[in-house]
Every structure is written in C-alpha cells, then in structure tokens.
C-alpha cells in the first residue's frame, strides 16, 4: 500500500525536502532513478495502483496486473491537482496520446484487463496465476 500524499500536511512541510541527486524534487527524482536503474524493474499489481502507485508502475520496465483485482488510474485532475510523477510524459509513450489524454483527464479507474488492452501494462493475468 502506498498512500498518495499527506493531505493534512502544510505545503511548507511537503516542499521542504532538498532536491534529489537528479536535481528534481524527491518524488520525480525517485521515479527518474528507478527508470534509469541498471537492473530490470517489474511492477506486479494486485489491487489499486492509482496516483503515485500508477506512477511507479509507469517508471518500471515491465508491469503485470491481476485481471480481476487491479485498478489503475491517474485521479489527480478529477480533484483539481496536477500529477507530479511524470505520467503526462510516460503514458503517451505506452498507450498513445489519445488514450493518455483519456486516462489523465478522465480520472477514471481502469481494470487490469482494460490496462492490458490499452498497453498500460504488459499483461494482465488471472489472479490465481
């Protein structure tokens, strides 16, 4: 489980951390370093991976999802926020511009089977597998 953010924290608390080694703020820095890691990264999703969880999935080299239990989304626009972990750059490369706009601007939940059909994940598998 990964909570998106501490919504009760003050803005100063959330922005006080110094930039990471890439020069980016901490969260985008982590995702860039994951993308550039010299090993293969694999996301295995069996549940809800929305917001930050989706952004980790997008930063991995491969991703596999439970067909029955996976829910992916970038919900931030639905509540008036901007997604800060790079999905606006990464999603179009995976699923194309039109579908990326649908995911990002629609803020709707996407099942494992639909994520596979879109190319959001490599493959969705029966949960038993």
Give the CATH number for residue 79.
3.90.226.10
- Residue at 61 is within a domain: yes
Q: How far apart are CA 106 and CA 39, in angstroms?
A: 33
Q: Is residue 5 part of a domain?
A: no
Residue with tokens 């999802």: 65
Does the residue 6 lie in any domain?
A: no
Long-range contacts of 78-84 (CB under 8 A, 24+ apart): 78/107, 79/107, 83/51, 83/55, 84/25, 84/27, 84/28
Residue 4 within a domain: no
Q: Which tokens sit at 68?
A: 């029955």
**What is the tens place of the pLDDT at every residue in 103-116?**
999 999 999 999 99
Average pLDDT on 93-98 reads: 96
Query: Considering the entire predicted model, what is its pTM?
Result: 0.88
Q: Is 91 within a domain?
A: yes
**In a domain? residue 104:** yes
Domain count within the chain: 1
- Residues marked active site are found at 55, 76
The residue range of the domain holding 72 is: 11-125
Q: What is the pLDDT of residue 16?
A: 84
Residue at 3 is within a domain: no
Average pLDDT score over the chain: 91
């Amino acid at each position: 489980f990964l909570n998106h953010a501490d919504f009760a924290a003050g803005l100063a608390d959330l922005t006080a951390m110094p930039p990471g080694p890439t020069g980016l703020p901490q969260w985008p820095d982590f995702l860039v370093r994951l993308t550039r890691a010299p090993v293969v990264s694999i996301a295995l999703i069996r549940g809800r991976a929305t917001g930050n969880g989706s952004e980790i999935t997008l930063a991995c080299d491969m991703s596999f999802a439970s067909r029955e239990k996976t829910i992916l989304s970038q919900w931030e626009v639905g509540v008036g926020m901007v997604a800060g972990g790079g999905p606006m750059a990464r999603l179009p490369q995976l699923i194309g511009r039109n579908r990326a706009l649908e995911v990002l601007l629609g803020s709707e939940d996407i099942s494992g089977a639909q994520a596979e059909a879109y190319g959001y994940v490599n493959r969705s598998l029966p949960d038993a597998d």
